[in-house]
Amino acid sequence: MKWFASIGFLGLSSLFVATPLVAAEPKTESKSDSEWTVLFDGESTDHWRNYKKDKVSDGWKVEDGALVRKDKGAGDLISKEQYGAFELSIEYKISPEGNSGIMFHVQETDGAPYFTGPEIQVQDNQAGHDPQLAGWLYQLYQPKKVGSGADAKILDATKPAGEWNHLLIRIDPAGSSVTMNGQKYYDFVVGSEDWNKRVAASKFVKWKGFGEAGKGHICLQDHGDVVSYRNIKVRELE
């Protein structure tokens, strides 16, 4: 195992915190600053292909500047490039009761992408059916409770189904983190003692190579529901 914890918003931090990108950007960005690479510009899917395939399936559509998992059999999408240490900025809009996910360090093995790539959950928190909520690192990390006593609840910064949410995912050997709509959810270090204990207590303990690659594809999951993604860009870290 190798890595990760800590998030920096760089030049965009004030935008994400004070005026969330989810509310301010009706259309997908076509440009980014020099440090970021746009993986989806609202038109082209050139940076993507289906898992173990050479191209994007017809089940994924470009609609109104968004990349939409639209039809049955769409399949999981992966980035053509592989990334080790990086920040991923991405917006998603989930359908009512919908479920999807964003994975990192995915390897193209005999199994599904989630056999090797840890998943940040994407779902409708209000009407979804999975106890793992949006923004959680599936079965491994979740936000802490806010409030006190009987009023304490796990932080949920998501907007309802049908609205855009922004995720900033930082994956770094020095430490990783996930931030939802400007609110940091948690920090973690892949391969740390804490990480290994959590993996050992999860279903992933049976999956050889889970979270061990240190570099791999970014994956957008097809979980059978309609989900849209836009403003997808990545910044590689030193």
Q: What is the pLDDT of residues 44-78, one digit of tens each?
A: 999 999 999 999 999 999 999 999 999 999 999 99
Task: Give residues with Cβ within 8 angstroms of 123, minimum separation 6.
Answer: 94, 98, 99, 100, 130, 132, 133, 134
pLDDT for the residue numbered 16: 39
Q: Cα separations (Å) of 238 from 8, 84, 127, 188? A: 14, 10, 40, 18
Taking residues 164-180, what's their average pLDDT? 98
Backbone angles phi, psi at 103, to 5 degrees: -110, 155
Q: What is the pLDDT of residues 180-209, one digit of tens each?
A: 999 999 999 999 999 999 999 999 999 999
pLDDT band at 10 (very low <50, low <70, confident <90, very high): very low
Three-state SS for the chain is CCCCCCCCCHHHHHHHHHCCHHHHCCCCCCCCCCCCEEEECCCCCCCEEECCCCCCCCCEEEECCEEEECCCCCCCEEECCCECCEEEEEEEEECCCCEEEEEEEECCCCCCHHHCCCEEEEECCCCCCCCCCCCCECCCECCCEECCHHHCEECCCCCCCCCCEEEEEEECCCCEEEEECCEEEEEECCCCHHHHHHHHCCHHHHCCCCCCCCCEEEEECCCCCCEEEEEEEEEECC
pLDDT band at 34 (very low <50, low <70, confident <90, very high): low
Instruction: Please state, rounded to an integer, the average pLDDT across all residues of the chain.
Output: 89
> Do 27 and 228 touch, CB atoms closer than 8 A?
no
**Amino acid at site 44:** S
pLDDT for the residue numbered 111: 93
What pTM did the predictor assign?
0.85
The alpha carbon of residue 180 and the mean position of all alpha carbons in its chain are separated, in whole angstroms, by: 10
pLDDT for the residue numbered 150: 87
Tell me the longest C-alpha to C-alpha distance in the chain.
53
> Do 177 and 186 touch, CB atoms closer than 8 A?
yes
Give percent of the chain with pLDDT exceeding 70: 86
Using CA atoms, how far apart are residues 4 and 195, in angstroms rounded to an integer?
A: 10
pLDDT band at 33 (very low <50, low <70, confident <90, very high): low
pLDDT for the residue numbered 23: 44
Least confident residue range of 2-6, 44-48, 132-136, 165-169 = 2-6
pLDDT for the residue numbered 61: 98
Domain segments of the chain as ranges: 10-24+35-236
Q: What CATH architecture applies to the domain 10-24+35-236?
A: Sandwich (2.60)
Least confident residue range of 90-94, 148-152, 219-223, 225-229 = 148-152
Q: What is the pLDDT of residues 76-129, one digit of tens each?
A: 999 999 999 999 999 999 999 999 999 999 999 999 999 999 999 999 999 999
